[in-house]
Amino acid sequence: MLGQRSEVGEWGWSVWKLARVGPRRCGPHGRIDLEQLINPVILFTMCALGAIGVCMALPRRGLTAQFIGATIAGLAGGVVLLALTLKNFEHHPNIFFYIFAAVALGSALRVITHPRPVYAALYFILTIVASAGLYLILAAEFMAFALIIVYAGAILITYLFVIMLASQASAEGDDSGELDYDTVAREPIAASFVSFLLLAALTAMMFKGVTNLGDVREDVQATGAGAMRLHPLGKSVESRDAGVLNEMPRRLRDELKKAGIEIAQTDEVAINAGAKTVTIKPLSGTARTIPLPEGVSPYNVENVGFNLLGEHPGSIEIAGVILLMAMLGAVVLSRKQVELDEEAKKAHADMLSSDQAGGVV
């Protein structure tokens, strides 16, 4: 018991030490300053401009300048991305990044400003599709398609169902179908100010802190060019790829066959990561070692699958429990009979009687 407690204490102590000492241990070469990525004046000015734009774009009663606000916010975002690009032009991202980012951010703005919930949900689907495009650029093919299937295909459809199920008649004499609580934003100025303060702080901290996360960076810097292909846990990408491929001998045999190497289905194959060679061992006879053909590497799905099941098996169990609980909770909640309030009952009765009167006339 005592030993356990001291172990916990030790752990807490080391976490505290890491949190305190972590950033300081990074050498000056491993450090990147905000100024190297973007001029802070531009960043903070554009954050302020974005706050004004979003504040203007939020729905409000009477005369609105929604379009002008959205334009200002869009320009501010565009200027930040442009400044980021021009500062380090040789490292600019793919052109598709700008398209997807513009669509994602633009429709995200429309989600929070559109007065009609159904349209907001549809714009959210557009955000999802654009994010899936960003995932594709980031070489996360599996997640890109999973996102479209799960989010746009399942979650958003549920949202649309509920929006249509829980739709409410709009006020008398108003044909636009927009409701009072949808068309008037609550505290737009304060909310925009606080949120864009958060944006300024987060971007400044993130850009500054990107390389100050721990010791990994120093290893990368120390081993020089090409060492970027280093796994954070110290394993090289090549050795991890080899490990994944060695788990799939049939796939490896197929790849070798495609490269024109004579190989029988019963041969044992194993990649030697460091030497970039393959050892082929037939059932009977001597083993031979040949160089690994170019371009033989695991696919994204295979990598994600091995990472998911190999390194996070406990998390999968927890995710399963969460889904089960959500299912049970949703069933219990929706089975419950709701007693209407007195006012709601009265309103309902009024509505019914007026309907009947209308029917008679």
Instruction: Please report how close the Cβ of residue 24 comes to other proteins at its closest, in angstroms.
Output: 20
Query: According to CB under 8 A, which residues from 162 to 181 bind other proteins?
Result: 162-163, 165-166, 168, 179-181
Query: According to CB under 8 A, which residues from 127 to 146 bind other proteins?
Result: 127-128, 131, 134-135, 138-140, 142-143, 146
When the beta carbons of 283 and 343 are compared against other proteins, the nearer one is 343
| Spatial distance between the Cα atoms of 322 and 332, rounded to a whole number of angstroms | 15
Instruction: Please report how close the Cβ of residue 233 comes to other proteins at its closest, in angstroms.
Output: 8
Query: According to CB under 8 A, which residues from 227 to 256 bind other proteins?
Result: 228-232, 237
Instruction: Please report how close the Cβ of residue 235 comes to other proteins at its closest, in angstroms.
Output: 10
H/E element, 280? strand 277-281
Instruction: Please report how close the Cβ of residue 262 comes to other proteins at its closest, in angstroms.
Output: 22
3-state secondary structure string, 245-279? HHCCHHHHHHHHHHCCCCCCCCCEEEEECCCCEEE
How many residues of this chain bind other proteins (CB under 8 A)? 111
| Spatial distance between the Cα atoms of 303 and 240, rounded to a whole number of angstroms | 9
When the beta carbons of 229 and 288 are compared against other proteins, the nearer one is 229
Residue 288 vs residues 270, 277, 280: alpha-carbon distances, Å: 11, 10, 5
When the beta carbons of 202 and 287 are compared against other proteins, the nearer one is 202
Tokens, residue 162: 């509920």
Query: According to CB under 8 A, which residues from 6 to 65 bind other proteins?
Result: 32, 37-38, 50, 54, 58
Angle at 99 between CA 301 and CA 32, to 5 degrees: 75
When the beta carbons of 133 and 263 are compared against other proteins, the nearer one is 133
Tokens, residue 19: 């949190």
Binding status of residue 84 toward other proteins by CB under 8 A: yes
Contact 37, 84 (CB under 8 A): yes
Query: According to CB under 8 A, which residues from 315 to 334 bind other proteins?
Result: 315, 319, 322-323, 325-327, 329-330, 333-334
> Tokens 């000056």 appear where?
28
Binding status of residue 154 toward other proteins by CB under 8 A: yes
Tokens, residue 230: 């280093």
> Tokens 């799960």 appear where?
150
Neighbours of 211 (CB within 10 A): 19
List CB contacts of 247: < 8 A, sequence separation 6 or more.
Answer: 306
Binding status of residue 152 toward other proteins by CB under 8 A: no
Instruction: Please report how close the Cβ of residue 288 comes to other proteins at its closest, in angstroms.
Output: 25
Instruction: Please report how close the Cβ of residue 8 comes to other proteins at its closest, in angstroms.
Output: 25
